[in-house]
């Protein structure tokens, strides 16, 4: 049960290993970069999973403030029963946020990943121009 | 203005980088870059003076109170590293003007200076920030710009070297970010001081040792500790000379600083050395680094490559000092950080002069250079003496502290390793000296001394390496205080 509950983390580990293996084992430089990207993506998934709170909603402030407001007015007016309970429930649920910070951090990490990939690919283009190949074993064996 | 100096130290080079890229003409770009470099030196020196009087500075970025906002926390260790980076930048930039004009195609000049400034601001950012995620961001800024600067080398192997560095560096940075994430998920904070308080409460959870392990591997990859140094020799060999001089004396040093920061300030000495037994990992690896890499250096035919392997060995000395976990050991590590930056900077700059005049740094091309380029080779000998650890040079000061730290632990064998490493340094430096001074120059080739614009920065570093070798009181004071701050935890 717990093992299934940690599905996200299993996915992270699988992705990480797939990326890492590709990075190490593949000779083609573009494939290496793809491996690197999968590896970095797994880190992003890991962070996003950290931020998820069970039953938590998206961390948007407006809705909660509105719900509380509704609850307060309902109480002030002296409204009975279901109306108040519902409003308070909405307020209670809305207060349970998912943690937004890891998501924000991952925006930065995505930018970094894109920059790395762009630089890596442009290096591959230059390597192709200079050596005529992008296979690592051919680069190493070739005339120096 | 002086109140915002901690932020400006990083922001000024960061903002001037796109300016340098956009002005188009490389001379203007150089002027912009030089202004930024000298400004950072001024800013870091005045911050040092403030810290020596007032103690650590805490700067709230954007007015957000830590631990919620990003904090720049500058203590003696940070500013010591920032000054190394800024000073090497300030010396490299006049050198780069002549050297880069020769080694890099002209239209790429402005872009080079933009990358240089980005790298500088990234390295400074790592050293002043008090937020672990910020560390990752600056690490990537400095690394990405370093990859692109290395790829500017004229030799086509610079491209593959840069690619290899990109792959290994990105993996290292990802490992660091995984470690940071695992720390965050257990403590809910990214602020270093806050982490230091909260981590011991959850240290029994298995997540924290895993975070520690990821960080150790990531950081040792970035600082090129044997056996994770594979990216370094090629990157240093094929990069343009000015880039090698700058990166060799700053990038790995900043990573060593990260090692200190994470293991002493954040995890705390007790956790790192007693619970995780960090010394059992670092000590053998650094000893192997010293011995094996010095041996490999002896057999290199390319002098830049020789110096690169020697760098890996020298990083071994720094990590060896840190692995003792004692005040004296960490002092030795920090002093060597500074000293190695001076001497390797000088040596790589001397090689840049050779590259400028001869067009190659292969050892056989250097026959008789002692007569043709007396000043360059004298600078090389000066730096080389320091590498060996001859008294009155900075290298001697480092080794003195390191041997003392080893003896304090009662370990004669490790003191012996330091000595053997020095002897091996003697061999590989002598190899170059012998060819340059005791072989006749090739009469067909007309080789002139390098221009003054290259010699002056080189000699500035050589002179500094002798000055701080004779009067080590300033560096030793700062390093001892820094080591005490680190081991005593955050005050």
Class of domain A1-52+99-144: mainly alpha
How many helices (H) and strands (E) chain B has is answered by: 20, 2
- Say if the Cβ atoms of A29 and B157 lie within 8 Å: no
- Say if the Cβ atoms of B140 and A39 lie within 8 Å: no
Higher pLDDT, B163 or A83: B163
Q: Does B156 touch chain A (CB under 8 A)?
A: yes
Contacts of B156 in chain A (CB under 8 A): 127, 130-131
Q: How far apart are CA B296 and CA B282, in angstroms?
A: 20
Question: How confident is the model at residue B130, as a pLDDT?
Answer: 87
Contacts of B140 in chain A (CB under 8 A): 112, 115-116
Q: Give this prediction's pTM.
A: 0.89
Question: How confident is the model at residue A73, as a pLDDT?
Answer: 54
Question: How confident is the model at residue B295, as a pLDDT?
Answer: 92
Residue B275 carries which DSSP code? I
- The minimum CA-CA distance between A66 and chain B, rounded to whole Å, is 25
Partner residue opposite B167 with nearest CB, options A23, A105, A139: A23
Higher pLDDT, A83 or B433: B433
The series of mean pLDDT values per 10 residues for chain B, 491 residues long, is: 82 90 86 91 90 84 81 88 92 89 81 92 92 92 93 88 92 93 88 86 85 92 88 90 91 91 86 81 90 91 91 91 87 90 91 87 83 87 89 88 88 88 91 86 77 88 89 84 75 40
Partner residue opposite B156 with nearest CB, options A105, A120, A131: A131
Partner residue opposite B166 with nearest CB, options A47, A112, A116: A116
- The minimum CA-CA distance between B325 and chain A, rounded to whole Å, is 32
Partner residue opposite B181 with nearest CB, options A20, A40, A46: A46
Q: How far apart are CA B98 and CA A47, in angstroms?
A: 46
**Cβ–Cβ pairs < 8 A, chains A and B:** 66
- Alpha-helix runs per DSSP H in B367-472: 369-372, 374-388, 394-408, 412-438, 452-470
Question: How confident is the model at residue A50, as a pLDDT?
Answer: 85
Residue A75 pLDDT greater than 70, yes or no: no
Q: Could you give the angle at which helices B241-260 and B303-324 cross, rounded to 10 degrees?
A: 10
Q: How far apart are CA B101 and CA B83, in angstroms?
A: 27
Calculate Rg over the CA atoms of chain A.
25
Contacts of B181 in chain A (CB under 8 A): 43, 46-47, 50, 102
Of B285, B256, B260, B284, residue with least CA distance to B272: B260
Using CA coordinates, name the residue in chain B closest to A130.
B156
Question: How confident is the model at residue B202, as a pLDDT?
Answer: 83
Contacts of B230 in chain A (CB under 8 A): none
Question: How confident is the model at residue A65, as a pLDDT?
Answer: 54
Using CA coordinates, name the residue in chain B closest to A111.
B137
Higher pLDDT, B114 or A89: B114
Residue A83 pLDDT greater than 70, yes or no: no
Beta bridge partners of A100: none
Residue A89 pLDDT greater than 90, yes or no: no
pLDDT tens for A94-134 read 567 788 888 888 999 999 999 999 999 999 999 999 888 88
* Token reading at A128: 């192709």
- Say if the Cβ atoms of B181 and A115 lie within 8 Å: no
Q: How far apart are CA B194 and CA B341, in angstroms?
A: 32
**CA B143, B149, B150, B156 torsion: positive or negative?**
positive
Domain boundaries, chain B: 277-491
Using CA coordinates, name the residue in chain B closest to A140.
B160
Domain boundaries, chain A: 1-52+99-144, 57-98
Q: How far apart are CA B201 and CA B188, in angstroms?
A: 12
Question: How confident is the model at residue B268, as a pLDDT?
Answer: 82
- Say if the Cβ atoms of B181 and A131 lie within 8 Å: no
Using CA coordinates, name the residue in chain B closest to A105.
B133
Instruction: Please state the φ and ψ torsions of residue B425, each to the nearest 5 degrees.
Output: -60, -40
Chain CA centroid to CA B162, Å: 18
Partner residue opposite B151 with nearest CB, options A23, A43, A123: A123
Q: Does B185 touch chain A (CB under 8 A)?
A: yes
Euclidean distance between the first and the last CA atom of chain A, given in angstroms as a whole number:
57
Residue A35 pLDDT greater than 70, yes or no: yes
pLDDT tens for B277-315 read 888 888 899 999 999 999 999 998 899 999 999 999 999
Reported ipTM exceeds the 0.85 cut = yes
Of A116, A98, A113, A118, residue with least CA distance to A43: A113
Interface test with A, best of B141, B160, B169 (most A CBs within 10 A): B160
């Amino acid at each position: 049960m717990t093992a299934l509950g940690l599905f996200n983390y299993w996915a992270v580990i699988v992705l990480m290993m797939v990326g890492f293996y590709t990075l190490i084992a593949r000779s083609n430089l573009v494939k290496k970069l793809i491996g690197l990207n999968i590896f970095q993506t797994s880190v992003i998934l890991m962070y996003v999973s950290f931020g998820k709170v069970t039953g938590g909603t998206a961390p948007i402030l407006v809705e909660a403030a509105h719900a509380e407001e509704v609850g307060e007015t309902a109480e002030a007016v002296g409204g009975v029963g279901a109306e108040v309970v519902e409003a308070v429930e909405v307020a209670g649920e809305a207060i349970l946020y998912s943690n937004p910070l890891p998501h924000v951090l991952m925006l930065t990490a995505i930018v970094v990943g894109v920059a790395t990939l762009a630089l890596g690919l442009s290096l591959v283009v230059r390597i192709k121009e200079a050596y005529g190949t992008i296979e690592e074993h051919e680069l190493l064996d070739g005339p120096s | 203005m002086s109140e915002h100096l901690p932020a400006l130290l990083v922001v000024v080079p960061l903002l001037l980088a796109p300016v340098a890229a956009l002005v188009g003409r490389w001379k203007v770009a150089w002027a912009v870059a030089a202004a930024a470099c000298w400004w950072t030196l001024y800013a870091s020196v005045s911050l040092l003076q403030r810290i020596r009087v007032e103690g650590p500075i805490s700067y709230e970025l954007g007015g957000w109170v830590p631990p919620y906002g990003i904090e720049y926390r500058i203590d003696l260790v940070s500013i010591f590293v920032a000054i190394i980076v800024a000073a090497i930048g300030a010396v490299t930039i006049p050198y780069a003007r002549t050297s880069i004009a020769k080694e890099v195609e002209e239209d790429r000049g402005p872009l080079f200076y933009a990358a240089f400034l980005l790298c500088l601001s990234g390295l400074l950012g790592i050293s002043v920030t008090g937020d672990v995620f910020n560390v990752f961001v600056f690490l990537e800024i400095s690394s990405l710009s370093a990859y692109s600067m290395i790829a500017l080398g004229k030799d086509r192997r610079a491209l593959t070297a840069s690619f290899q560095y990109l792959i290994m560096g990105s993996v290292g940075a990802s490992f660091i970010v995984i470690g940071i994430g695992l720390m965050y998920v257990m403590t809910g904070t990214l602020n270093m001081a806050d982490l230091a308080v909260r981590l011991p409460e959850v240290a029994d959870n298995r997540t924290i040792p895993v975070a520690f392990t990821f960080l150790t591997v990531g950081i040792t990859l970035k600082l090129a500790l044997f056996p994770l140094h594979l990216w370094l020799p090629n990157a240093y060999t094929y990069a343009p000379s000015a880039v090698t001089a700058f990166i060799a004396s700053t990038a790995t040093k900043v990573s060593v600083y990260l090692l200190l920061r994470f293991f002493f300030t954040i995890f705390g000495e007790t956790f790192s050395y007693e619970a995780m037994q960090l010394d059992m990992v670092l000590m053998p690896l650094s000893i192997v680094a010293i011995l094996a890499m010095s041996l490999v250096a002896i057999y290199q035919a390319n002098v830049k490559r020789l110096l690169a392997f020697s760098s890996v060995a020298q990083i071994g000395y720094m990590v060896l000092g840190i692995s003792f976990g004692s005040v004296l050991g960490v002092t030795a590590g920090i002093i060597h950080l500074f000293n190695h930056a001076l001497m390797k900077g000088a040596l790589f700059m001397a090689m840049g002069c050779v590259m400028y005049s001869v067009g190659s740094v292969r050892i056989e091309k250097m026959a008789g250079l002692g007569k043709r380029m007396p000043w360059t080779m004298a600078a090389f000998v000066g730096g080389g003496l320091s590498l060996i650890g001859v008294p009155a040079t900075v290298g001697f000061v480092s080794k003195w502290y390191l041997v003392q730290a080893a003896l304090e632990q009662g370990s004669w064998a490790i003191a012996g390793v330091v000595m053997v490493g020095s002897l091996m340094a003697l061999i590989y430096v002598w190899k170059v000296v012998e060819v340059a001074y005791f072989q006749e120059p090739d009469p067909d080739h007309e080789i002139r001394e390098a221009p003054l614009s290259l010699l002056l920065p080189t000699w500035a570093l050589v002179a500094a390496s002798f000055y701080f070798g004779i009067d080590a009181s300033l560096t030793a004071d700062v390093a001892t205080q820094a080591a005490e701050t680190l081991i005593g935890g955050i005050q």
